[in-house]
Structure 1
């Protein structure tokens, strides 16, 4: 395990995390093409998202918290892949790491915890969409056994340009 993990705790996200989780996500909305949201959220606007990830079941929100300040270092989610009933055993996963917490193994720690939590759930496959280029995310997903299954070319427009999204899947 990379250094610094002794002080990092992974736990289910709670309502008290909402402001910090919203601020972390808004960084990616403002600064990167990693999410195709283009307008920042208020914590109140993100509340339904948080509440859609209970502590158990296939749709989880796990938070990495650590350091002396107990700040939120990142989070990982498993969410419904599509709303139709036949997709119920598939999840879409994502991970967001605080900009100042990168390259510390936080994403790895979160995904390790998420996949352990999903091991006893009735889920068959996990899917991840990665806006390209994002070599760090592609390496993380490969490390967890995801394989590239296709790329949607120029599927999203943000910051005045088009972005590709590579899709990955993993058997659970």
Structure 2
């Protein structure tokens, strides 16, 4: 079992994980993207934010990534997180560990607040955020239409660093020192049994 930084070569296996969600309201995307499009998303994300994969027996069984909360410049110190797991690894704490590693990496970049957006009700995802210390900050009622119904989305937030004024510039993930990344990944990979 290993958590590592994703590469474009992981696109097909990560897409296979994502495919189990495409017919559900957990994602609001209607059509499953191509492998090429998924590889482009991984590459694009990694230029600015972490993109992680969780592997078992050298096969991608889950992934998590971050992206900017919103387009305007003033939002750049916040990041929205996403995690997707293969059905065989849910309810084993893998989502919690992926989020923990992701947050550790985002702290190195200078992110101050992380957010989760959950189609609700979704008890597993809601519990994940609550156990990690996120607080529920609001629900957008009937925000999306999928699978023949309107669905609410609930936002969660967690402060992960001090709000100094002015904040230092956010460091793109592609410029974080490899030894810092290895150190954060190593905390999990050196002792997976405790997770």
TM-score, structure 2 normalization:
0.78
| From 134, 147, 151, the counterpart of 1:146 | 134
For 2:67, what is the secondary structure of its paired residue? strand
Partner of 1:63: 53
Count of equivalent residues: 160
Residue 119 of structure 1, CA deviation: 2.0
The structure that is helix-richer by fraction is 2
Equivalent-residue separation in structure 2 for 1:14 and 1:126 (angstroms) = 23
Residue 145 of structure 1, CA deviation: 1.0
| From 75, 78, 83, the counterpart of 1:95 | 83
For 2:110, what is the secondary structure of its paired residue? coil
Partner of 1:36: 28
Gaps in structure 1 of 5+ consecutive residues? 1-7
Equivalent-residue separation in structure 2 for 1:86 and 1:165 (angstroms) = 23
The structure that is strand-richer by fraction is 1
Residue 134 of structure 1, CA deviation: 0.7
Partner of 1:163: 151
TM-score, structure 1 normalization:
0.88
For 2:46, what is the secondary structure of its paired residue? coil
Deviation per CA, 1:81-123, whole angstroms, max 9, x where unpaired? 1111111111010111111211121101211111111222211
Q: Could you tell me whether the CA contact under 8 Å between 1:73 and 1:106 is conserved in 2?
A: no
Gaps in structure 2 of 5+ consecutive residues? 161-195
| 1:8-157 alignment runs, 5 A limit | 8-30=1-23, 32-54=24-46, 59-66=49-56, 68=57, 70-157=58-145
Q: Which has the larger radius of gyration?
A: 2
Please provide the CA RMSD for this pair: 1.3
For 2:4, what is the secondary structure of its paired residue? strand
Higher relative contact order (CA 8 A, sep 6+): 2
Q: Which runs of 4+ in 1 moved over 4 A?
A: none
